[in-house]
Chain A
Amino acid sequence: MRNNQKQPSRFNPGLIVGIESSCDETACAVVAGGREVLSNVVASQAELHARFGGVVPEIAGRAHIEAINPVIAQAIDEAGIPPANLPASGKQAGVAAVAVANRPGLIGSLLVGLMAAKTLAWVWRVPIIGVNHIHAHAWAPALDDEEIEYPAVALIASGGHTSLYLCRSPDGLELLGATIDDAAGEAFDKVAAILNLPYPGGPAIDQASRNGQADAIKFPRSLLKGQSLDFSFSGIKTAVLYHVNGVPGSIRAGVEKGIERLGEKEISDIAAGFQAAVVDVMRTKIKRAVNFARQDRDTNVRTLIIGGGVAANSALREAVAELGEKLDLSVRIPAMEYCTDNAAMVAGLAFHHLRVGKTDDFELAATATVRR
């Protein structure tokens, strides 16, 4: 378990306890005023899954169930809230609501967090707030940091999502585009598998790219028709596969080609070429989104937000920093611990739901798939 313990602040504008269990991470955090993280506890199943070579739904569900109570106990203890078995304790300590990521994700995993959140909210007699996991990623740069200046364009890219938003406020998000096939992080993982690089693919490709030449191989940039703000990474993945194994049906397929015959330098060049293509597409889409906001939404964007696990990619960070400078926009990328899945972003965003009275009741359900 990771955590970053802090002393609770004296000024207490209302604490929110957040819970996150949408995929591999079981997490709980306590956040004051939307930005001040009092505790942030994450138990990851990544190691567990690596041992089995993939995710195992039964184990995933069971691991969440095993982890959720200790994770909650640690998070509320670190934030100075008395144990949850004392019914009045939450309110006395200033807990204003319990927030939970209830969409989108692996349904069996979402349900574990949702049930825990309902239980806490019921025991403490405070409102429950369902939060969109991807929207929460777009709030992550504000954690332990300055307020975000809106309007903003946000790119959230991870193993499961690649979504582009126009954010008018913390909870006023309009989906501009999303992947129509593979998520960016998924493409990194699958290309890493093609190149015999380790899982997770993101860091492995980032690392290999440092020794490669990005322009040695030009992979296709799939920008889709017209001014589309959607993404497609399936074509780049297939191009890498055929570059390595040969085009199906060609005489050379599988004969002269194959990963075994490639040296370290060539693999690094492929990794760098692939990464450059993905980053190029993202840069183009972000630029299009900023223009779209101005022209079609009459909205002058002031900030670029990058979130999700792929925000850790060094080439993407560089490209976005450069783009921000060029377009005169401030760039907000969360601290590493808030790029990957965590509950602080859930509790933080929920503060803004609560402020406008957007709370849920115990009918709150988990939803696996959403597009918004």
Chain B
Amino acid sequence: MSEQFQTNSVEETVALGKRLAGRFAIGDCIAMVGDLGSGKTAFVRGLAVGLGIVDERMVSSPTYVLVQEYVGRIRLYHVDLYRLPAAEDELDNLGLDEMLSDGIVVIEWADRAENALPKPYWRIAIKPTGQASRQFTLERVG
């Protein structure tokens, strides 16, 4: 079963992340799948705000550092697999298990390692439908 959401601007994407934050709990893994510029980081910014991260400006793209950690009401780990050529083998090295033991993990470019994600996990697929409009599909996998 999946749910769909439509946003029409970056601001609406941030708001959607904020609105859905309450659905996730410690130990949840959220796989974000969507092309360059589809709004993955913007969604995570909303998610962070919804989880009580005080300074939303802490949230930026983790492409370079691979993992960012934000502490709010709940700890949020923000992972990015864009620079990882063999991402499936690297999830262990990034410490995915440890992260899941005390926080929520959201992974950008998760399609690069989807077979290695511990089930069940949440999957959020983003499809650009126009200049700024995006269709989000949320589902529980496994």
Contacts and interface: CB of A to CB of B under 8 A. Distances in A.
Contacts of A158: 64
B47 to A, nearest CB: 14
Contact of B130 (A61, A160, A185, A248): A248
Interface residues of A, number: 41
A186 B84 contact: no
Interface stretch (A25-33, A204-212, A235-243): A235-243
Nearest to A231: B60
Contacts of A57: 66, 84, 90, 93-94
B58 A55 contact: no
Most buried by A among B57, B83, B93: B83
Contacts of A183: 60-61, 63-64
Given A368-B69, A369-B68, A241 B83 contact: no
Contacts of B82: 54
Most buried by B among A57, A159, A237: A57
Interface stretch (B15-23, B37-45, B113-121): B37-45
B65 interface: yes
A371 interface: yes
Given A52-B85, A249-B128, A106 B61 contact: no
A137 B84 CA distance: 26
Interface residues of B, number: 37
A372 to B, nearest CB: 10
B2 interface: no
Interface stretch (A2-10, A174-182, A270-278, A299-307): A174-182
B57 A194 contact: no
20 contacts: A52-B86, A54-B82, A54-B83, A58-B89, A58-B90, A104-B65, A106-B65, A106-B66, A106-B67, A160-B65, A178-B57, A179-B61, A182-B61, A183-B63, A186-B64, A237-B37, A238-B36, A248-B128, A369-B69, A371-B58
Given A56-B85, A369-B69, 4 more contacts: A56-B84, A58-B93, A104-B65, A182-B41
Interface of B: 10, 35-37, 41-42, 45, 55-61, 63-70, 82-86, 89-90, 93-94, 127-131, 133
Interface of A: 23, 52-58, 61, 104-108, 158-160, 178-183, 185-186, 190, 194, 230, 234-235, 237-238, 241-242, 247-250, 368-369, 371
